[in-house]
Amino acid sequence: AQVLLEAAFRASQDAMLLFRESDGMVVDANEVWEGAMGISREALIGQRLAALPLWLDPEDPARLLRAARGRGAVLDFAIQTRR
């Protein structure tokens, strides 16, 4: 099941970012996210959401974490980015 989930994550045409809900630490990003945000997967992994250099609204990382808590996923979360 894990292999299928990872394959779907990698093949998705939607920008996807995986982070720990407990502290906002980025665990992974797919290629679409990398291209859309202009930040490599390697540079993202291990960073906290709030530390990413892409938020125009400094409240967006906290809003994203709140939306994820207890749900396990956030869909259609709109943000304005520097890119």
Owner of token pair 């920008």: 15
pLDDT computed for residue 10 by the predictor: 95
Q: Where are the beta strands (DSSP E) in the chain?
A: 17-19, 26-29
pLDDT exceeds cutoff 90 at 11? yes
What is the pTM (predicted TM-score) of this model? Answer: 0.86
**How many Å apart are CA 14 and CA 30, to the nearest integer?**
9
Q: What pLDDT, in 10s, does the model give residues 49-66?
A: 999 999 999 999 999 999
pLDDT exceeds cutoff 80 at 76? yes
Backbone phi, then psi, for 52, in 5-degree steps? -70, 135
pLDDT bracket for residue 80 (50, 70, 90): confident
**How many Å apart are CA 17 and CA 32, to the nearest integer?**
10
**How many Å apart are CA 52 and CA 40, to the nearest integer?**
12
